[in-house]
Structure 1
Amino acid sequence: MSVFILSNRRILMENGKESFSNEEISLPNFRIAKCNFDGWKEPTKEELKKKNYKGRAILNYKILSEPQKSGYQDVLEVLRKEKKLAESKLTSANLGGTQKMFYDLYKEMSATKQRNDVLIFIHGYAYDFDEELQSILELKKMYIDNPSSPVNHILFISWPASSSVFPLTYFDDKASSINSGNSLLRLFYFYIQFMKDIFSEKDLAPCHQRIHIIAHSMGNRLLQSMLYSLKTENITRVIDQVILLSADVSFRVFEESEESFVKLPKLANRVTVYVNRKDAVLAISQFSKNILSPRLGKMGPSTFSKITDIISVVDCTEVKNDLKTSFKFQVGSHWNYLSSSEVQGDIIAVLNDIDQKLIAKRKKMGDQSYLLA
Structure 2
Amino acid sequence: MLFITNRTPQESAESEQGRTISFDCNNTSVSQNIYFCERLGVHKYKEMMKDKFFKYLKELEDHTQLLLYIHGFNNNMEPDIFRNAAKLQDLLNQALQKSSKNEPASVLVVPVIWPCDDNPALALIDDYWDDQDAADCSGPGFARLLGKFDTWRKSPEQQEIPCFRRINILAHSMGNRVLKNALKFWADKYSSGQMPALFRNTFLVAADIPNEALEKGEDGRYIVDSSRNVVVYYANDDLAMPASKIANIKYMTLSRRMGMTGPETLNVLPEKVKEVDCDDFNNEFDMKGHSYFLDKDDGTPSPMIRHMADAIASGRVKPNKRSYRLRRT
Give the TM-score, by structure 2 length: 0.82
Q: Decide which moves more: 125-134 or 142-151.
A: 142-151
Partner residue in 1 for 2:314: 353
Offset at 1:12? 2.1
Does the 8 A contact of 1:21 with 1:129 survive in 2? no
2:75 matched residue in structure 1: 127
Q: Structure 1 residue 63 and structure 2 residue 47: aligned?
A: yes
Q: Of 270, 295, 298, which aligns to 2:229?
A: 270
Name structure 1 gaps, 5 residues minimum.
37-55, 65-96
Counterpart of 1:314 in structure 2 is 276
User: Which of 20, 27, 40 is 2:23 aligned to?
Assistant: 20
The corresponding residue for 1:251 is: 211
Note the C-alpha offset of 1:287.
Answer: 2.2
* 1:370 is the counterpart of 2:328: no
Equivalent residue number for residue 72 of structure 1: none
Q: 2-side partners of 1:355 and 1:6: how far apart?
A: 28
Amino acid at match of 2:7: R
Alpha-carbon spacing, 1:141–1:233, altered in 2? closer, same or farther (3 Å): same
Give RMSD over aligned pairs: 2.4
Q: Which has the larger radius of gyration?
A: 1
Amino acid of the structure 1 residue aligned with 2:278: C
Give the whole-Å Cα distance in 1 for the aligned partners of 2:45 and 2:106.
20
Q: Aligned partners of 1:227 and 1:176: how far apart in 2?
A: 16
CA offset digits 1:336-370 (Å, max 9, x no partner): 102452122212122223643437xxxx6xxx111
Residue in 2 aligned with 1:71? none
Decide whether the 8 Å contact of 2:282 with 2:291 is kept in 1: no
Residue 259 of structure 2 corresponds to 297
**2:16 is matched with which residue?**
none
CA contact (8 A) 1:167 1:289 kept: no
Counterpart contact for 2:180–2:223, Cα < 8 Å: no
Stretches of structure 2 that go unaligned for 5 or more consecutive residues are 12-18, 100-104, 296-300
Distance 1:352 1:200 in 2: 26
The alignment status of 1:217 with 2:178, answered yes or no, reads no
Contact 2:180–2:222 (CA under 8 A) maintained in structure 1: no
What's 1:157 paired with? 112
Q: Does 1:332 align with 2:293?
A: no
CA distance 1:356–1:292, change in 2 (3 Å)? same
User: How far apart are 1:27 and its partner, in Å?
Assistant: 0.9
How far the C-alpha of 1:279 sits from its partner, in A, is 0.4
Is 1:187–2:185 an aligned residue pair? no
Residue equivalent to 1:261: 220
- Residue of structure 1 in register with 2:39 after alignment: 35
Q: How far 1:285 moved relative to its partner?
A: 0.6
8 Å Cα contact 1:314-1:370 kept in structure 2:
yes
Q: Describe the SS at the equivalent of 2:217.
A: helix
Instruction: Tell me the TM-score normalized by structure 1.
Output: 0.73
Specify the alignment match of 1:74 in structure 2: none
The equivalent residue for 1:92 is none
Distance in 1 (CA, whole Å) between partners of 2:213 and 2:150 is 25
Identity percentage over the alignment?
23
SS at match of 2:32: strand
Q: Judge conservation of contact 1:180–1:222 (CA < 8 Å) in 2.
A: yes
Answer whether contact 1:121 1:214 (CA < 8 A) is retained.
yes
**2:6–2:32 Cα contact (<8 Å) kept:** yes
Distance 1:189 1:343 in 2: 31
Taking a change above 3 Å as real, the CA distance of residues 346 and 226 of structure 1, as seen in their structure-2 partners, is same
1:19-65 Cα deviation digits (max 9, x unpaired): 122122221121111234xxxxxxxxxxxxxxxxxxx4x3743222x
Q: Does 1:100 align with 2:100?
A: no
